[in-house]
A and B are shown apart, each in its own frame.
Chain A
Amino acid sequence: MTENPNTPAASEPQQRPLVELRGVHKEFGSLPVLKGCDLTVREGEVTVLIGPSGSGKSTLLRCVNQLEIPTAGAVYVDGVLQGYREQPLADGRLQRLKPKEIDAQRSRIGMVFQRFDLFPHRTALQNVMEAPVHVKGMPKAQAQAQARDLLARVGLAERADHYPSELSGGQQQRVAIARALAMEPEVMLFDEPTSALDPELVAEVLQVLKDLAQQGLTMIVVTHEIGFAREVADSLVFMDDGQIVEQGPARQLIDAPRSERLKDFIQSVL
């Protein structure tokens, strides 16, 4: 199995790597949060990141779409280095991309946040239309039709004209998923999408995630829902103290964790 994105493994049964993190370190000031993480997510795969709070899951996720800039290491999406020119300068330094180029890279990666972060001054429909119209320049009529389709897909066709403040948490999160899907991302990042929800609203959001996984969307999900991970994820990544401690097929790892730390963690969240 090859790890190099420049020579896609066409002959191999596995899909090509879509997201690759290589030796990613991140420090906030002098506080190390990520201590050298390597991760490969293949096209169509669902990867679930678990680990105790403060272990660096969210930071790792946010490095993928450059909401955090790694202190060391590299992030590749679809074989393209994120944030810098591939070719180093003559003096060995990297050339940072222009803001416009970074925005373009981000627009191909969808993200869903713990606190939904819908635009409160726009209706559900307008939330979903915003980026296609103003980032992609899609005609309004087309964007509206697409937004209605997407809202129907997450079961909210009838809520299109409601403001976020008029929706329950689960509904808001589903609108947020539709909003991210509207940019037709190659990969979707979910940062604890159900952690801010009342227990009875968690299922409806997980159902949407499950549907998306079945449709073959590449997803990286930070969550504490072990049941969801076991059922839906292809691969599971267990992080602790800024490092990836264990990774492998989700079901196998959950049912028979190799490391003590993962065993303890699964015990504590089940």
Chain B
Amino acid sequence: MTTPEQAPADRAGTADAIPGRIRAREAARPGTWIAAVIVALIAAALINFLITNPVFEWGIVAQYILDVKIIQGVGWTLLLTFTSMLLGTVVALIAAVMRRSDNPVLRLVSWVYIFVFRGTPVYTQLVFWGLFTVIVPKIAVGVPFGPELFSFSTRDYFTGFLAAVLGLGLNEGAYLAEIVRAGLGSVNRGQTEASKALGMSNSLILRRIIVPQAMRVIIPPLGNETIGMLKTTSLVLAVPFTLDLTFASNSISTMLFKPIPLLIVAALWYLAVTSVLMVGQFYLERYFGRGFDDRAPSRSRQKNINRAKTTPKDPLPQVEL
């Protein structure tokens, strides 16, 4: 007999529970080794190329990778990414819920928003928001077509950062709205009926039942979009907003006439931030996947039941009728 202290491998090896456990040698699979050798050769050639090619100027990369302007650029890029994604997600949720509404006016508004903001280039939209103070110099609040209550000049409040966030966030919102809509649609209809039967209101059902389950479907593409946004922020010079990572590295490279090492600096930073975002996505997916564990539903359900040990010695007595 095995003891609990033994490692699982040992337990499998003793095989005393099942007589005649099959012991077999695996069939040869040379493909893995051949592929490994080819890839190793290519990787070695690539590393050699990166080290020996003088244009990369790794010294300059090392010198500027922690430059104050670059680090500040990373900070601004992160701030732009998070605020625009936050705005985009909120707008997308509202737009997606409006698309599903019984109210035809709300459905139309949502449709038009998605049509316009998804149908025009984000670059164009950023230029537009940059020119907002020219197009709308003054915002007045008052009775429509009647007296004015107060007004302010947009120039005093409408900073480049605000324009960049509005441009990126509203564009993103139109894309995310479709992702959110698909997510909301993925939740089983029975969930709504069961909630209704309990007397829950539509808004409560949406908030407590539908959205939390939809998040499981929404999070992977949302993570994708966030990584996309990280790189789209490099377009904010169209506003113009000139503090982000791409602008910072470009301005240094123009100053030094050394574009290649500074491109590498920017690329390394984008990669680093993406890695951190991927970790965040992993934990979000795990949180919203609770109760859903695996991919293959039928097999994993039995696995869940077995693991939870919920069926043996069930306290309710069996009855015959």
Contact = CB atoms under 8 A, between A and B. Distances in A.
A93 interface: no
A204 B291 contact: no
A110 B301 contact: no
Given A121-B292, A167-B305, A99 B201 contact: yes
A14 interface: no
B193 A206 contact: no
Given A117-B194, A135-B200, A166 B208 contact: no
A145 interface: no
B197 interface: yes
Nearest to B307: A166
A113 interface: yes
Interface string B279-321: 0000000001011110000001100110110110011111111
A106 B290 contact: no
Nearest to B315: A155
A104 B200 CA distance: 8
Interface centre among B197, B202, B307, B310 (most CB of A within 10 A): B197
A168 B308 CA distance: 11
B204 A134 contact: yes
Contacts of B316: 154-156, 174, 204, 207-208
A158 interface: yes
B321 A183 contact: no
Given A135-B204, A159-B310, A122 B196 contact: no
Contacts of B199: 103-104, 106-108, 131, 135, 183
Nearest to B320: A203
Nearest to A157: B315
Contacts of A122: 291
Range of interface residues on A (Cβ < 8 Å): 35 or more
A154 B199 CA distance: 22
Given A109-B197, A117-B193, A165 B321 contact: no
A65 B314 contact: no
B314 A165 contact: no
Contacts of B197: 65, 67, 106, 109-111, 113, 180, 189
B200 A228 contact: no
B213 interface: yes
B275 interface: no
Interface residues of B, number: 39
A135 B300 CA distance: 33
B190 A103 contact: no
Contacts of A206: 319, 321
B186 interface: no
A179 interface: yes
B208 A134 contact: yes
A163 to B, nearest CB: 4
B44 interface: no
A49 to B, nearest CB: 17
B196 A165 contact: no
Interface in B166-184: none
A92 B97 CA distance: 35
B171 to A, nearest CB: 31
Interface in A97-156: 99-100, 103-104, 106-111, 113, 115, 117-123, 130-131, 134-135, 154-156
A165 B190 contact: no
B274 to A, nearest CB: 28
Contact of B193 (A110, A113, A158): A113
Given A166-B304, A203-B318, A121 B196 contact: no
Nearest to B216: A121
Given A134-B204, A135-B204, A162-B310, A179 B198 contact: yes
Contacts of A183: 198-199
B36 to A, nearest CB: 39
Interface centre among B200, B213, B310 (most CB of A within 10 A): B310
Contacts of B259: none
> Lowest 10 A-B CB distances belong to which pairs?
A107-B199, A155-B316, A166-B308, A117-B194, A111-B197, A163-B291, A117-B190, A131-B198, A207-B319, A166-B304
Given A121-B291, A154-B316, A165-B304, 4 more contacts: A113-B197, A119-B191, A121-B290, A225-B321
8 contacts: A65-B197, A111-B197, A118-B194, A119-B194, A131-B199, A135-B204, A166-B304, A166-B307
